[in-house]
Structure 1
Amino acid sequence: PIREDDSIFMSIAAFREHLLADTLAYAFSNAKHPEKLFIGAVVQNCFGKNGIEDFCAMSDYTKYCTNGQIRVIYMHESESLGPAMARYYASKLWGGETFFVQTDSHLKFAVDWDEKYRNEIKLTKNYPKSILSSYPPGFEQKHFIPKGFNGTLSDINNTVVESPGCRLWEPRPSQIPFIAAGFFFTRSEILKDIPFDPFLPWTFMGEEISLSLRAWTHGWNMYAPRKNLIIHQY
């Protein structure tokens, strides 16, 4: 059963990740209610580097490891079946928390990100069957403008056209067509309505489209959060 205590389960798939410990540290240190945050991580590394052990060795965070808030499945990197399968395994570590958030393993989080996302999703038209999702800005960007249509030519030759008439603020999150696998925030009922597909080995391209189609055809709508509360190392 799902607990109605505003707890959050964070699913993380990490492959040869050097920023996992830092990502967890940012998530807990900047959460308004870190006692309600639970991690389910699939760590796919060679022997030697262990981001979970590094995180748990930090004196400020040891308590989260000893009281059961960090759940882990370890795999050798040579046995990895790709991100979709790792996320399927991570979902099996869910323990009844109210909300489900899937993230990449190389992020930084804004202050009070947990409470702000909980409040944001409740403003969506289709709540509780709503999903907040986005592609966050990157670490290395020197300047980021979070309101659209003020861009420049990117390294993949996509031009963002300036539009002086665009609205800079919306009263509630805007509906979008797709889920970004690197970050989405929703209620945990999604794990019962559309369990993660266990038959997508080595799938990268197509993971997000499959998940989006399955969500939408089961009555879930996707929305873009109005503010970026995370940044990503691309």
Structure 2
Amino acid sequence: MDHVATATLFVSIASYRDSECAPTLVDLFAKARHPERVSVGVLWQILPDVDGPEFTAVPDAWRDQVRGRIVPVAESRGACWARSLIQTDLFGNEAYFLQIDSHTRFDPDWDVKLIRMLHACPSPKPVLSTHPNKYLPPDERLAKGLPHLRAKKFNRDGILIPQGEYLALDPKPEQPPPAAFIGAGMVFAKGSMVNEVPYDPYLYFHGEEITLSARLWTHGYDLFTPNDVILYHDYTERERNKHWDDHRGDWNRMHKNAVARLEHLLEVRPSTDPEVLREIERYGMGQVRTLDGYMAYADVDLRRRVIGTRGSDGHFPSHPPTFGIGVEIERIFTRIHAENTWGSRETRSGEGSELRATSELRARLEQTLARLGVRVLVDAGCGDLNWMAGVSKGLDLYLGYDVVEEMIRHNRTLHGDRANHLFGVAEICHTVLPRADGILCRNVLTHLPNDLVLKALRNFKRGESRHLLATTFPNAVNEETTLGHWHKVNLTAPPFALPEPILLIPDGKARHERFLGVWRLADW
């Protein structure tokens, strides 16, 4: 199927007192193979009585296809605000969406090339983006390579800044290479992206690229670099009016709020300021993939301001939806451990693992293990062994596994002198644990989304142990959650549908709703 046969395409241009905007419009329509199917939304931000008519000039032949709006400089709130306004007020739900800067040049047939390139990306939800090659006004094009974005540095506000790294033009990649970062001067995708991941008007300027990168990725979009040169951008230090020069009185406040918002979105530093958090849910992260997953993919730590080798070099793997889920799980629970997120002073495994909270459970569990003949026990998510140490000492062999490597080192130091205790790093959703008389999995599945709970249960079954003892809420409905958060898990209800347990052991303060259920693994 030829995707350009009848495709409509919208181009978003936020122009701030830019005399290059008019030549950009001329080149845009002149170089399109199907200019009649191209619509442009332009937000001209001008200083009345200073900026001449050339700032808002439109080619006569294409005037009907330009949806323009003029805004006085005094009303402008910055680049992200302008891009957002174009999406909400000027975008007409065209099939494809291209965002560019107001100082751009085009290669011939750019419209056809972009659409076909997008469909060549190995993803159901691709986005093409980069920092385009350079041109010198009026029209000297300098294509020294294919610009591929890498993580350059964190600026003084702690914002990650992407930079172009040039790939060879000859030979060109057969497909658009996978990427991890957005370049705001060229973003191309299906028009549905605009409605699903709208531009955040409450950011200002710095941080728009890394924030949009993470938001798109967590909404299930995959990022790619164009595998051919199509657009050019003016990077020269010509006399160009800057928003912050015209808004010196408001600049500091807008920038400060935007940085605080970015830190909240990227989970660097939470904010409670209503001004910072305006419409934060509408412009927040997605639920398809997690922010920790994005950082694992991009090889950057946005909280500790660390750039890994892949992020620095700009080399990224392909984009299967489950990429790096094991790494993602490890990162999330390692962070929870390091920051003591669950807030107990006694144990980093949380209040539910304190001795006071488990006094009744420990006595019942010892009796149950003896009754079932469990002499070898695998603890799937052992934590720091705070509540379990007294129970495990009576076993022939206790095998404690956790995804947090530091926790396992801690356990080996504190309990390694016990001959019957062995510890290992394991991630239960993708690892089959050793065969034992029983598997204990307390307060672990409650922090996993339902698909990962299913994977863990299947691995327990594959391990051929005799019994499973796992947390369950018999009266709960299995609602979804995101990785690392908490929800009630009813293991006998869909989508898990285990048989009724042979025994229910009340567990803690929530004894009338939370239990350790006991199952014979051979029964399911």
Scaled to the shorter chain, the TM-score interval is 0.7 to 0.9
User: Residue 16 of structure 1: CA displacement?
Assistant: 0.7
Contact 1:17 1:51 survives alignment (8 Å): no
C-alpha spacing 1:109/1:148, structure 2 compared with 1 (3 Å): closer
| 1:90 matched to 2:86 | yes
Equivalent of 1:103 in 100, 103, 106: 100
C-alpha spacing 1:223/1:142, structure 2 compared with 1 (3 Å): closer
Q: Residues 163-178 of structure 1 correspond to what in structure 2 (within 5 A)?
A: 168-178=171-181
C-alpha spacing 1:96/1:79, structure 2 compared with 1 (3 Å): same
| 3-state secondary structure, aligned to 1:64 | helix
Q: Residue by residue, what CA displacement relative to the aligned partner does 1:32-90 show, whole Å, maximum 9, x if unpaired?
A: 000011011111011242447522xxxxx32321x3x1111211123221100000001
| 3-state secondary structure, aligned to 1:197 | coil
Alpha-carbon distance in structure 1 between the residues aligned to 2:105 and 2:230: 8
C-alpha spacing 1:133/1:147, structure 2 compared with 1 (3 Å): closer
C-alpha spacing 1:142/1:85, structure 2 compared with 1 (3 Å): closer
Alpha-carbon distance in structure 2 between the residues aligned to 1:162 and 1:105: 23
User: What letter matches 1:63 in structure 2?
Assistant: A
Q: Residue by residue, what CA displacement relative to the aligned partner does 1:4-55 show, whole Å, maximum 9, x if unpaired?
A: 9311100000001001110000000000000011011111011242447522
- Gaps in structure 1 of 5+ consecutive residues: 56-60, 150-159
Alpha-carbon distance in structure 2 between the residues aligned to 1:39 and 1:53: 13
Q: Residue by residue, what CA displacement relative to the aligned partner does 1:120-158 show, whole Å, maximum 9, x if unpaired?
A: 11000113x111111112123885421579xxxxxxxxx
| 1:190 matched to 2:193 | yes
Q: Which residue of 1 aligns with 2:28?
A: 27
| 1:231 matched to 2:232 | yes
Q: Which residue of 2 aligns with 1:75?
A: 71
C-alpha spacing 1:108/1:143, structure 2 compared with 1 (3 Å): closer
Structure number with higher helix proportion: 2
Between 1 and 2, higher relative CO (CA 8 Å, sep ≥ 6) is seen in: 1
Alpha-carbon distance in structure 2 between the residues aligned to 1:174 and 1:73: 36
C-alpha spacing 1:188/1:52, structure 2 compared with 1 (3 Å): farther
Alpha-carbon distance in structure 2 between the residues aligned to 1:125 and 1:29: 31
Bigger mean CA offset, 42-51 vs 84-93: 42-51
Q: Residue by residue, what CA displacement relative to the aligned partner does 1:165-201 show, whole Å, maximum 9, x if unpaired?
A: x98322210110011111111101101211222322x
User: What letter matches 2:171 in structure 1?
Assistant: L
Alpha-carbon distance in structure 1 between the residues aligned to 2:185 and 2:146: 20
Alpha-carbon distance in structure 2 between the residues aligned to 1:81 and 1:132: 27
Question: Structure 1 segments of 4 or more deviating over 3 A?
Answer: 50-53, 140-144, 160-164
C-alpha spacing 1:144/1:27, structure 2 compared with 1 (3 Å): closer
Equivalent of 2:61 in 42, 52, 63: 63
Q: TM-score, normalised by structure 2?
A: 0.38
User: What letter matches 2:62 in structure 1?
Assistant: Y
| 1:131 matched to 2:131 | no
Contact 2:18 2:55 survives alignment (8 Å): no
- Gaps in structure 2 of 5+ consecutive residues: 149-163, 236-524
Q: Residues 179-218 of structure 1 correspond to what in structure 2 (within 5 A)?
A: 179-200=182-203, 203-218=204-219
Alpha-carbon distance in structure 1 between the residues aligned to 2:113 and 2:178: 18
Alpha-carbon distance in structure 2 between the residues aligned to 1:39 and 1:79: 22
Equivalent of 1:54 in 53, 57, 63: 57
Contact 1:98 1:188 survives alignment (8 Å): yes
Question: RMSD between aligned alpha carbons?
Answer: 2.6
Q: Which residue of 2 aligns with 1:117?
A: 114
Aligned length: 210
C-alpha spacing 1:22/1:161, structure 2 compared with 1 (3 Å): closer
Structure number with greater Rg is: 2
Instruction: State the identity %.
Output: 30
User: What letter matches 1:64 in structure 2?
Assistant: W
| 3-state secondary structure, aligned to 2:57 | helix
C-alpha spacing 1:108/1:225, structure 2 compared with 1 (3 Å): same
